[in-house]
Amino acid sequence: MAKVTSRGAARKAAYLMDCAKTYYPEPITLVSGDGAYVTDDEGRRYLDFFAGIAVLVAGHNHPKVKAAVHDQVDKLVHTSTLYLNEPMLDFAEKLSELSPPGLDKVFIGNSGTEANELAAVLARHFTKHSEFIALAHAYHGRSAWTVGITGLSAWRNFGGEPSKIAFAPNAYCYRCPLHLTYPSCEIACARAIEDVITTETSGQVAGYFAETIQGVGGIITPPPEYYGIVKEILDRHGILFIADEVQTAWGRLGKNLFGISDWGVTPDIVTSAKGLANGLPISIVIARREIADAYAGPHINTFGGNPLSSRAASATLEVIEEEHLAANADGVGAHLMARLRALAEKHPIVGDVRGRGLMLGVELVADRTTKEPAGAAAERVLNACKEQGLLIGRGGLFSSTLRIQPPLIITKAQADEAARILDAALALADREFARA
C-alpha cells in the first residue's frame, strides 16, 4: 500500500473502499472552490484544469447557481419522479427548447451511467432490436450494461459482460486502428461501421453509441467528416445514433451547446450529465418524441428530476448563455491549444495534441517514431503539476494522455499559467522518460 501521511488519505484507507481510486500517491482533500481554483485541507490552492471530472462548466461556487440552490433548499428538496415539481418542469422545457431540432422529450436522472442505460432501453423498444455497436476506447459508465459497451480493457472489469455488442474502430487519427492517414484515408473508420453491421451483428441493431469526443479514452477527436458518414450508414440500416454527450455538451467544445452539433448531424438520442448542473448530480436523456413514446414504462427514479439539481441546471444553462461560456471555451481554448502545440515542439515526450474548445488532450510517448505510450511519464507530469498548483486529468488506453478540461470561465492568463506549469513538468518527463 502507498505510504499514507495526510489525514485524508489515512481516513480513506480506513473507511472507503480501495476500488475507488484517487489521483496522486498522496490524494488531496478539497475543502473549498472559487471559480477556477480549489483549496485543500492544508490551505494549498490549485488552479483546477480538470473541474472534478470535466464538470464545473461555470466554475466552482458560481454565485447564480449557488443562489438558485440556496433558494430551493428553503422550499423543497425532493419529490421523486412520482410527483412533478416546478424546477423539474422549468428545466425540461428550457432544455427541450435548447436541444437540437426534433429532440424534445427528456428524462432527468442522476448520472451518465443511468442516462446511457435508459437510452439503450428506448432504442430497444423503438427498433424492437437488441444489438448495439460501440467504439473501441469508449467509456459509457459503471453499470453492467454500460461496462459492456465500454471499449477500454481497464474499465471492462466487472466480470461477465453482456453480449450482443459489436465494437467498431474509433477515429483515433494519431494511432489509426486501420493504419491509414487522414485525409487520404477517406475516413475509412466511419465506413467500417457498414462492415461491422454486416459481419459482426445479426443485422438487428438497435443503436450505435459514441462519445462525440472520447474523454476517458484520451480526447480522441474524430475528423469533421466522421459523424456525417456514420449517420448516413446508420440511417440506411435503421439504427439509432446515440450521442453520449456526458463530457462534450454545455459549450465545452466552444461552438454549440451540444458538441455533436459541430459535426453538423442530429443524433436520434442524446445523453448527458456532468457539467449540466455545475456540480450537482443530474443526467438527461433527450430523444425524438416517437422514440421516447415507444417506451411506455413504467420507469421511475427516486432522485430523478430533483428540485435542487433542476434549479442548478436551469441556472447553469442561463450562466452559459449570459456569460457566453461556449465563446470563451472557443477563444481561450484556441489560445491554450496554441500554447500546447508550442510545448509539443519543444518537448520530445509529447506525441500529439488534440481536442476542441476546452476539451484538450496531450498524448505522451517515450519515442516519437515508435509512438511507444508513456503512461508513467503522464503520471509524473500529473504529480509535478499538482506540486506546482495545477490539477489536470489523465486518460487513454495506456493512461498516457493528459486531459485538460477546465471550467469554461477560465481566462487567457490562467491558461498561460497552466501552460507555464506544464512546460516545467514536461521538461522533467523529457529527462526521465523520453528516448528520442
Q: Which residues bind ligand PMP (CB under 6 A)?
A: 53, 111-113, 116, 139-142, 211, 215-216, 244, 246-247, 273
Could you check whether the bond before residue 101 is cis, i.e. omega within 30 degrees of 0?
no
Give how far Cα 336 sits from Cα of 141, 361, 383, 403, Å.
Answer: 29, 11, 20, 13
Angle between helices 325-346 and 307-322 (to 10 degrees): 70
What is the distance between the alpha carbons of residues 279 and 268, in angstroms, rounded to a whole number? 27
Q: How far is the CB of 112 from ligand PMP (least distance, A)?
A: 2
| Complex with ligand PMP: residue 140 or 394, whichever CB lies closer | 140
Q: How far is the CB of 130 from ligand PMP (least distance, A)?
A: 21
Q: How far is the CB of 154 from ligand PMP (least distance, A)?
A: 13
| Complex with ligand PMP: residue 247 or 278, whichever CB lies closer | 247
| Complex with ligand PMP: residue 44 or 142, whichever CB lies closer | 142
The three-class DSSP label of residue 133 is strand
| Complex with ligand PMP: residue 119 or 173, whichever CB lies closer | 119
Q: How far is the CB of 247 from ligand PMP (least distance, A)?
A: 5
- Give residue for cell 455538451: 249
| Complex with ligand PMP: residue 280 or 384, whichever CB lies closer | 280
In the bound complex, which residue of the shown chain has the CB atom lying closest to ligand PMP? Answer: 112
What is the radius of gyration, based on Cα positions, of the chain? Answer: 21
Strand ranges in 216-319 using DSSP code E only, listed in sequence order: 240-244, 269-272, 283-288
Q: How far is the CB of 245 from ligand PMP (least distance, A)?
A: 8
| Complex with ligand PMP: residue 112 or 348, whichever CB lies closer | 112
Residues making up the chain, counted from first to last: 436
Task: Extract long-range pairs of 10-19: CB within 8 Å, 24+ residues apart.
Answer: none
| Complex with ligand PMP: residue 81 or 111, whichever CB lies closer | 111
Maximum alpha-carbon separation in the chain: 62
Q: How far is the CB of 180 from ligand PMP (least distance, A)?
A: 26
Smallest Cα–Cα separation from 242: which of 255, 227, 223? 227
> C-alpha grid cell for residue 167?
465494437
> C-alpha grid cell for residue 88?
423539474
Smallest Cα–Cα separation from 421: which of 345, 353, 339? 339
Q: How far is the CB of 13 from ligand PMP (least distance, A)?
A: 23
> C-alpha grid cell for residue 3?
505510504
Q: How far is the CB of 116 from ligand PMP (least distance, A)?
A: 6
Q: How far is the CB of 429 from ligand PMP (least distance, A)?
A: 25
- Please list, in sequence order, all residues whose beta carbon lies within 8 angstroms of the beta carbon of residue 15, skipping any fewer than 6 positions away: none
| Complex with ligand PMP: residue 140 or 175, whichever CB lies closer | 140
| Complex with ligand PMP: residue 114 or 379, whichever CB lies closer | 114
User: Residue 393's beta-bridge partner residues?
Assistant: 403
What is the distance between the alpha carbons of residues 146 and 156, in angstroms, rounded to a whole number? 10
